[in-house]
Structure 1
């Protein structure tokens, strides 16, 4: 813009000199318009507008100045201003940018991660010196550091912890380390979301085989437990029967048997005309009941 101002000013001088030796006023009018345009271009060259939620870093002849805030700012026409947004920026590491990691056992996993980061306005000059632009900040600082930390954290956990049991813990550890690494550089990491962890095909096959083996082991243990319980039940039942027989054998005296014989006679006599040899009178001492209805 400043170069345009100089060109317009030169054009105004030329038009004025050419028009001075002529009677027509068109040259003078053109010279005046050029001069006005040159002044306006010079003014615009000294004004820079920093948009809302942005911070500007001025550079004059290679010297970096203090950061300038949003609004209309006056600067030297020889000053270039590089703007950095202070709004959170989403860095999505999935799809073709998915992070390939290895567990402590060597299993390959694929981690989908979204990192939300923003430039700290007070450290915009430091970021400019480290990277040079907002895009370079992400490509040179946020992406490589985040990938390194994600790989290092997963390398401390087993494959099962990585894709299942410890995902929340791993996500929190990654977030804390990324914030700790990038904050001193002027980058505020507001959120780290471990969206998904997927095992590789080879690791998935190993997981499936392990699950099958565990299920087979559980079935064998359950079968053994059931067989042991059944054997214990039968032992207890046999011991009970043996104990009952032992008690019964001790309680069957001659008087008890004689009494049971009489009870049997009474029950039989109620239904049929019978007579009986007195209980216990035969040679073996066994009661004899005779039915008179049979020959």
Structure 2
């Protein structure tokens, strides 16, 4: 009876130690995340090692796992940049990105968990300054916004992809110009629109006038050709043909030969 507590105590201690070790060794990674294994007694993070995916993992209790979110993430960026003529332009953009999953170990070793501030934000700001500096405020405000957005995306992508960051998209939500410049551009655009409408009406009127002129000329040409072809002899022949057809009809009529103009017969009917 006295020996049982002495035997049970070491077992209890062993169980408690095992539980503590197991608790230290068990790691659960959430969906949309991945883990980078840091080997405390080794060389830290192995750049070539595959990351730990979502789920339950057992590691050595002296090691630790560094968690990274691997889903697409968004950062809002409000930037102040200069146009080609030196005016201050404000861009409101969204950057969609995610870490390069296969190179998560390299990303951690070279950039660390703060890669957003160290790499991505400086890259997007540098690209925006470079691209916007090639355009005028009017182009930024109206026709070139989509092209500018695409150029910023491509230039940022060239910077961040070699540094193990996957850039998915850059969205320009708003372009803010100085109020006086914005008003001047809007007035100019309005005047251009009115000018285009006037030109359209003018061209339409010219086309309608040309159409009427062509139709009138066609009718005049047709009448001229017809008049030239209708000689006195042809008219007499046509009159004789008409007289013969009328005389052959069953209706009562009186034909007076040689009484009409040019000697054509006159036909008098009873109706």
Q: TM-score range, shorter-chain basis?
A: 0.5 to 0.7
Among 81, 86, 101, the alignment partner of 2:81 is 101
Q: Displacement of 1:50 after TM fit? A: 2.4
Which has the larger displacement, 119-128 or 206-215?
206-215
Are 2:138 and 2:185, in contact at CA under 8 Å, matched by a contact in 1?
no
Q: Displacement of 1:211 after TM fit? A: 5.7
SS at match of 1:87: coil
The reply to whether residue 162 of structure 1 matches residue 162 of structure 2 is: no
Among 64, 70, 81, the alignment partner of 2:45 is 64
From the superposition, tell whether residues 213 and 167 of structure 1 become closer, same or farther in structure 2 (CA, over 3 Å). Answer: closer
Q: Displacement of 1:175 after TM fit? A: 1.3
* TM superposition score normalised by structure 1: 0.57
From the superposition, tell whether residues 216 and 126 of structure 1 become closer, same or farther in structure 2 (CA, over 3 Å). Answer: closer
Corresponding residue for residue 189 of structure 1: 167
Distance 1:186 1:193 in 2: 21
Structure 2 gap ranges (5+) = 199-271
User: Which structure has the larger Rg?
Assistant: 1
Are 1:57 and 1:81, in contact at CA under 8 Å, matched by a contact in 2?
yes
Please give the root-mean-square deviation of Cα atoms over the aligned residues, in Å.
3.0
Corresponding residue for residue 37 of structure 1: 16
Among 149, 153, 159, the alignment partner of 1:175 is 153
Corresponding residue for residue 205 of structure 1: 180
Structure 1 gap ranges (5+) = 1-21, 223-295
The reply to whether residue 125 of structure 1 matches residue 109 of structure 2 is: no
Corresponding residue for residue 265 of structure 2: none
Corresponding residue for residue 68 of structure 2: 84
Identify which of structures 1 and 2 has the higher relative contact order when contacts are C-alpha pairs closer than 8 Å and 6+ apart: 2
* TM superposition score normalised by structure 2: 0.62
Q: Displacement of 1:24 after TM fit? A: 9.5
How many aligned residue pairs are there? Answer: 192
